[in-house]
């Protein structure tokens, strides 16, 4: 989904630019102000409550806004995307929007802010007052609205600056010129869209094989922390000395070391179309870390694919792998294999619930040949690709 929030002070021209954006990108329009005015005109209980606040230049409660937006999202979640005009207006509403969008397994692509000075905003709104018939278009209310914007709404920019998806646009000039600047920012935002997959499953589920195939088909960067750690061991560095005991015993390597390796990999691929993560995250803490790492890049996890294999089959596979050159240190005995599987169940399995609340989680049967499993794995990957792009 392509989801845009159009931001700016009263009189910045958000309504005009919204119409152009909807036409160009086929977006579903959500303007809380328009919806509230409709409720006020109809004299509904919601409208009466909102009218007392809006007529004084204030902001309606978040409870009312959530009801309006959530209902609209549910009705139109099969659309190409949403355009938010007049929301979020506060720092808290920015968190609310993240939560509402995550419920339909999507997120905000970018926030476009139209920069217009106060004098121009006042001039435009007073001019509009001559023909609009809106009770909130008078000098006193306009002043209050601009003051409210400065005090409560501008901090929203910091929220999206930190997320890396804020795109400021000069809102002065002709409608055509402003729209052209917006489209330029949209092109940049769309070029940053990534498909990031967590390939999940117990040790022995065949994640490495499937992850490499997915990486090749979708041109993703394959990121396997286990292989990265093994490569580090071969360097005989100081870091390798710290890592070695954990690898041999099948215990988890400290997060500080893992994060360093992942940050390095991400920085080495600044224009990647996406990443496929195998072996990370392994704990809830690592899940939070990964979300933070990707958020700094202006992206997020797109989906999680869980490869399911019966426990007895996992033990057989790991035991067989222990007799090959591809064996892992914990493959040496049934005891160490069982210990590793138990650790996964205790430490790693809760991650499924964590991601199930935020992204699409797909469960795939991991039994059969490599090609048979891939036919099952690639289907949700293709669905995710369509949603992302």
Query: Which position has the token pair 């088909």?
Result: 217
Token representation of residue 350: 């809760």
Domain 2-191, what fold?
Rossmann fold (3.40.50)
E runs forming strands in the chain = 2-7, 28-31, 81-85, 110-115, 166-170, 197-201, 221-224, 275-278, 303-308, 360-365
Is-catalytic flag, 128?
yes
Strand positions, DSSP E, 117-196: 166-170
- All CATH 3.40.50.300 domain ranges in the chain, comma separated: 2-191, 197-388
Q: How far apart are CA 247 and CA 82, in angstroms?
A: 46
The rounded distance, in Å, linking the Cα atoms of 94 and 40 is: 25
Active-site entry in 37, 145, 213, 376: 145
Let me know: does 330 contact 204? Beta carbons within 8 Å.
no
Catalytic annotation present for 134: yes
Catalytic residue among 24, 37, 75, 128: 128
Per the CB < 8 A criterion, the answer to whether 247 and 233 are in contact is yes
Q: In the annotation, is 376 catalytic?
A: no
The label of the residue with tokens 């059969």 reads 368
CB 206 within 8 Å of CB 307:
yes
State yes or no: is 386 an active-site residue.
Answer: no
CATH superfamily membership of 197-388: P-loop containing nucleotide triphosphate hydrolases (3.40.50.300)
Q: How far apart are CA 109 and CA 235, in angstroms?
A: 40
Report the sign of the C-alpha dihedral through residues 155, 156, 159, 164, in that order.
negative
CA dist., res. 240 & res. 246, Å (int): 10
Q: CA neighbours within 13 Å on the CB side: how many for 292? A: 8
204 Rama sector, left if φ>0, alpha if ψ -120 to 50, beta otherwise: left
114 forms beta bridges with: 169
Catalytic choice (118, 124, 134, 347) = 134
Choose, from 14, 207, 278, 317, the residue flagged as catalytic: 14
As a whole number of Å, the CA-based R_g of the chain is 25
> Does residue 89 carry a catalytic annotation?
yes
Q: How far apart are CA 160 and CA 83, in angstroms?
A: 16
Whole-angstrom distance, CA of residue 286 vs CA of residue 292: 10
Rounded-to-integer distance, Cα 35 and Cα 60, Å? 12
pLDDT (tens place) for every residue of the chain, 389 residues total:
789 999 888 888 888 999 999 999 889 998 877 777 777 888 887 788 888 877 777 767 888 778 778 877 888 877 878 999 878 888 888 888 988 888 877 888 899 999 988 888 888 888 777 776 666 667 788 888 888 877 777 788 888 888 888 999 999 999 999 999 999 998 878 766 789 999 999 999 999 999 999 999 999 999 998 788 888 888 888 878 888 887 777 677 788 888 888 888 887 886 788 999 998 998 899 999 998 888 777 678 999 999 999 999 999 988 888 888 878 777 778 888 888 899 889 889 999 988 988 889 999 999 999 999 999 999 999 999 887 76
């Amino acid at each position: 989904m392509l989801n845009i929030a159009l931001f700016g002070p009263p009189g910045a021209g958000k309504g005009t630019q919204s119409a152009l954006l909807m036409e160009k990108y086929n977006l579903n329009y959500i303007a809380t102000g328009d919806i509230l005015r409709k409720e006020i005109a109809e004299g509904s209980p919601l409208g009466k409550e909102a009218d007392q606040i809006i007529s004084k230049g204030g902001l309606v409660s978040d409870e009312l806004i959530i009801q309006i937006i959530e209902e609209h999202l549910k009705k139109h979640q099969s659309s190409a995307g949403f355009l938010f005009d007049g929301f979020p207006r506060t720092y808290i509403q920015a968190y609310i929007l993240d939560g509402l969008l995550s419920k339909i397994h999507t997120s905000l692509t970018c926030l476009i802010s139209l920069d217009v000075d106060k004098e121009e905003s006042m001039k435009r709104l007073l001019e509009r007052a001559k023909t609009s018939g809106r009770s909130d278009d008078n000098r006193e209310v306009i002043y209050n609205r601009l003051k409210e914007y400065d005090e409560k709404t501008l901090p929203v920019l910091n929220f999206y600056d930190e997320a890396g998806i804020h795109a400021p646009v000069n809102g002065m000039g002709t409608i055509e010129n402003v729209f052209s600047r917006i489209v330029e920012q949209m092109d940049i935002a769309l070029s940053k869209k990534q498909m990031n997959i967590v390939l999940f499953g117990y040790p022995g589920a065949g994640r490495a094989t499937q992850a490499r195939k997915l990486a090749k088909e979708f041109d993703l960067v394959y990121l396997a922390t286990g292989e990265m750690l093994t490569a580090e061991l071969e360097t005989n560095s100081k870091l390798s000395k710290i890592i070695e005991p954990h690898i041999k015993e099948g215990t988890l390597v400290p997060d500080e070391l893992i994060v360093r390796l992942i940050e390095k990999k991400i920085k080495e691929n600044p224009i990647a179309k996406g990443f496929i993560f195998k072996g990370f995250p392994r704990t809830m803490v690592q899940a939070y870390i990964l979300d933070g790492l990707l958020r700094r890049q202006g992206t997020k996890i797109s989906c999680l694919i869980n490869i399911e294999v019966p426990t007895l089959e996992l033990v057989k596979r790991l035991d067989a792998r222990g007799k090959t050159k591809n064996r892992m240190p914990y493959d040496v005995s049934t005891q160490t294999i069982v210990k590793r599987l138990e650790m996964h169940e205790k430490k790693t399995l809760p991650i499924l619930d964590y991601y199930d609340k935020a992204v699409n989680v797909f469960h795939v049967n991991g039994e059969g040949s490599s090609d048979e499993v891939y036919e099952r794995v690639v289907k949700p990957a293709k669905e995710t690709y369509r949603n992302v792009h």
